[in-house]
Structure 1
């Protein structure tokens, strides 16, 4: 009887096992974890440390850290008193040079010509009289009627009268015929030099106002009103954050995952839960001898929370 019961139990177990339907395993959704192959520093597409090529005292600081500025906006104003005085002097010199050149080009006025003619005529009369007087004294000296000193005095008077007539005659000829070409060239060069001096002093005056070279954000402003700053000392630091870039580096095996135009993901240590999109703009084809890796340039999408200097990791978009 026991043998019959055992045999029955075995049959039941076998039949139950054969008829059981296997339970299907629940399928888990596949997730793709980005692999950050490259790393580098975030930097602004445009950045500048503004300074001046002179030593001067700051009169006013017109900006502050964090302020958005437009190209051409004044940022720092230096004292302009000395520069303004130099501009005034050079402009006066230019006006004189231009007037002299214009006078030479237009020629003499009628009254100047009449005056020059009268001066030349008087000088000719004085020369004729001096020559007659010299001849008379020469005759008297030859007859031993006067001493040598009187003859020498007459000779000096004649020489002076001749020089005066020559000068008056040349002045009259210039007024009649105009200045010589060589003299006109000299006058024109003087005007050119005066214009260059005005331009130089006006440039110095303009440099007394430090202006923004491009649209951007003021990230540092060490300049202070009343302080004197020397040549090439940084006064304001400016960045254009409308377009941020990353110079990312990695070994050749990592760089092989990137190509120009490819979309990428970037994350920074300060915001690990946030991904910033970007595009590969350049892939290097040489290994840096110092770093022993390859450079890949990335252009990032505008993101107000990013700042230059942040360390970023780059992953390709699958």
Structure 2
């Protein structure tokens, strides 16, 4: 990624909390990252680590209340998202940034034709007339590789398969050619074959439109197939971030090691047990001091339980927050696992 490329999205020290009956749930705790023009950044991590809350904060889609952005900065193509009012956000959603949600059935209105739903974005943001909207919807469905697009635009979501509904959502999200496409677990509800087709489609769109992508997933195989850069998230924080090649070949955080080791190898004996990360993620209501991963980490030291580690530069733009990187820490190396393929 060239340094001269313009930054489309900049997130700095973002903190988002949810007010619950148990108290303040600190869903996002000081997250920072950037996405350049034409770049795909993938945020990976277990369920509940704050990935979706982070992504939805960019378009202010978290319900307020109970959610509230406590502090931080979000700049989208130079626009201050934190200070933008709802009218401004309605202009931004769909035109400057599009979003694909993980459940296409609940994201599409079952009482409206697919063509009409795609056309709504064109009507709101580009003032396209009715006949023009229908033809553009046909073109968009063709672009996302739905056969018989001219007939499909007249159908309701119930007539579409899961993969086709996801493609229709992608068509709606890219209708106004946004600069940033946010995809929140876009392959979770799909089988492996359709997952591969959807990721291939996103890569094709990214290449042809020069669009930046922020993709949220818990699946490292999905991340490997599209990411230029990867951010590993745990307990509301980014614990490691860097190029896809650096993260896959030179991971430094024990949590990243655990995620890597949980990927089945192509030559793995089918009767052998999959490796897992023991324990459960921490509750983020009154979180404990120190590293959030320490209670589950086999290499945790006393300082890990007492003091939170800061991000340290590993190599280039590869950064990691772990006390094992301290010069006085014991030398621990992850045993490499073969068979992980990274998209070129």
Q: Give the TM-score category using the shorter length.
A: under 0.3
Q: Normalising by structure 1, report the TM-score.
A: 0.22
Larger Rg: 1 or 2? 1
Higher relative contact order (CA 8 A, sep 6+): 1
Q: Normalising by structure 2, report the TM-score.
A: 0.21
More helix, by proportion: 1
